[in-house]
Amino acid sequence: MRIIARRTLHEFWIQHAEAKSPLEAWYHEVKLAAWSKSADVKARYPKASIVSNERVVFDICNNTYRLVVVIKYKFQVVYIRFIGTHAEYGRIDAKEI
């Protein structure tokens, strides 16, 4: 999978150092993945929340942080839409962001 934009993750872990290792691990695993449907995501990340056909929410650092992505399976692209604390996540609409 091609991930756009890694910079978002990097900027986040500069502010939240404890998120660096989990986000790097997520990035490297997803980069090697070849998902064709949301069931493929759930098979690897059972705790991920499938919000819609293309939107997925991942728990980072034991649910301290939330990562919202849009996955274009046909093109093998993952777009990072949001990374933030659980409280910040509560103030957004994961279907719209």
Write the pLDDT tens digit of every residue in 18-55.
999 999 999 999 999 999 999 999 999 999 999 998 99
| pLDDT at residue 97, as a whole number | 85
Predicted confidence at residue 41, as pLDDT, reads: 97
Residue 62 φ/ψ region, left for φ over 0, alpha for ψ in the -120 to 50 degree band, beta for the rest: left
User: What is this structure's pTM?
Assistant: 0.93
* Matching CATH number, 2-89, of 2.20.25, 3.30.70, 3.30.2310, 3.40.50: 3.30.2310
